[in-house]
């Protein structure tokens, strides 16, 4: 596995729409492995392929340690409720904001083996699913920010 470079705000790639994955190849499974490794090293709970410069509809999420979701072509099919919580992004270091998201979402996706799943998440998992799926459509959490603030370094 390799740690990939996470592109930052200002890179035009972050605003592009990602293309669907048509076939799960060894290159796609290697990308999934590298994305999980990169997410761990960056201490994040989610990462979209576009954030590492790959315009494919792929995200990885880990809100609970050891519970990793690798989603190929994720599609949110249900949303309900409302939550306003703090949010940040590995591509926008030093920025945080209170955003409005659904409290509960159901996402349909394919895993690395080609099996289809539906996952319903609440709280942080719902927020992470929405956040990462937004990346696939070129949207950043700052587009939804109710309140944004610059964070200070903790050195």
Contact 122, 103 (CB under 8 A): yes
Give the whole-angstrom CA distance, residue 72 versus residue 108.
9
Nearest residue to 112 (alpha-carbon basis) of 37, 29, 48: 29
Distance CA 10, CA 129 (A): 23
What CA dihedral angle connects 111, 113, 116 and 121, to 10 degrees? Answer: -30
The tokens for 73 are: 């072509």
Q: Does 75 participate in catalysis according to the annotation?
A: no
Candidate list 132, 150, 152, 154, residue with the active-site label: 132
**Chain position carrying tokens 């270091």:** 93
Please report how many Cα atoms fall inside a 13 Å half-sphere around the Cα of residue 60, on the Cβ side.
Answer: 25
Q: How far apart are CA 53 and CA 7, in angstroms?
A: 7
What residues are annotated to the active site?
132
């Amino acid at each position: 596995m390799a740690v990939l470079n996470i592109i930052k705000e200002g890179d035009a790639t972050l605003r592009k729409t990602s293309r669907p994955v048509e076939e799960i190849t060894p290159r796609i499974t290697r990308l999934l492995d590298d994305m999980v490794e990169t997410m761990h090293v960056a201490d994040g709970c989610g990462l979209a392929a576009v954030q590492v410069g790959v315009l494919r509809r792929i995200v990885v999420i880990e809100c609970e340690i050891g519970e990793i979701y690798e989603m190929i072509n994720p599609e949110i099919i249900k949303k309900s409720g409302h939550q306003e919580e703090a949010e940040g992004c590995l591509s926008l270091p030093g920025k945080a904001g209170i955003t409005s998201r659904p409290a509960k979402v159901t996402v349909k996706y394919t895993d690395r083996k080609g099996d289809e799943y539906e996952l319903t998440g609440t709280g942080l998992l719902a927020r992470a699913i929405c956040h990462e799926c937004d990346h696939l459509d070129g949207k950043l959490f700052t587009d939804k920010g109710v309140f944004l603030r610059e964070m200070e370094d903790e050195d």
